[in-house]
Homo-oligomer: A and B are copies of this chain.
Amino acid sequence: MIEYSRQPHYLVAVDCIVFGFDGEHLKILLVKRGLEPEINKWSLMGGFVGADESPDDAANRVLKKMTGLEGVYLEQMQIYGEPGRDPIERTLSVGYFALIDIHKYEAQLSDDYEAEWFLINDRPKLIFDHNQMVADARKKLRYKAALHPILFEMLPKKFTIPQLHILFEEVNDTKIDTRNFSRKITSTGLLIKLAEKDRTGSKKGAFYFKLDKKKYNANSQAFLNLMPNLKT
């Protein structure tokens, strides 16, 4: 039996930066850590990669376990592997960012885990290098969202242009002209206007839209230039 003799072995984990949008602000979902060290401190959702699963599998499993949600938009970010990042034992962690419809999770209430949404700009200090992970995830979210129509993943099936507008402003941390935004987002051809209006936000009401799934699936990898003058 051949072996890779004497090579060191490490723990491999996944950590998920879960983004949501409450209609006003960008939020992240954090949990109270359930094991030592740093037990009961706030941290990202994470877990070890099991013997029979890939890191992607592990990330999906962790999300399912902690939120009850499946089929979540999940994207591998990078690996965090500085030798000293976990004080107990060498652990490398694969960072993922996830986009979920915040209302789906709120409805879920599978609170065996103490999970809580925090404003992205007003969150507790996290364990280990999780603060860095959040910063990296935010940057990557902005980058990706400027080119690909992924922010829909944080909105309900039916959404309005003003909702989208606020979400884009939140993610990019900047003001965007309504007229130009509306033109740009409708010109993608990805939106289907519905007859119904959302009347909760104003007297006039805003028309609901839904995603054109066919075009979305066909074009999710295309460059859309949703934020042309973005500097990262």
Contact = CB atoms under 8 A, between A and B. Distances in A.
A195 interface: no
B79 A2 contact: no
Interface string A75-95: 010110111000011111010
B55 A79 contact: yes
B232 A51 contact: no
A119 interface: no
Interface stretch (A151-159, A197-205, A222-230): A222-230
Q: Do most interface residues of chain A lie in helix, strand or loop, or is the interface mixed?
A: loop
Contact of A88 (B2, B48, B147): B2
Contact of A2 (B9, B37, B83, B228): B37
Interface in A44-85: 48-56, 76, 78-79, 81-83
A35 B4 CA distance: 9
How many copies of this protein are present in the complex? Answer: 2
A139 to B, nearest CB: 10
Interface in A1-44: 2-4, 7-12, 35-37
The 5 closest A-B pairs by CB, nearest first: A9-B9, A221-B232, A55-B81, A54-B81, A7-B48
30 contacts: A2-B36, A2-B37, A2-B88, A4-B35, A4-B88, A4-B89, A7-B11, A7-B48, A9-B9, A10-B10, A12-B12, A12-B81, A12-B92, A49-B81, A49-B92, A51-B83, A54-B81, A54-B83, A55-B81, A56-B81, A76-B79, A79-B79, A147-B147, A221-B231, A221-B232, A222-B231, A222-B232, A223-B228, A223-B230, A225-B225
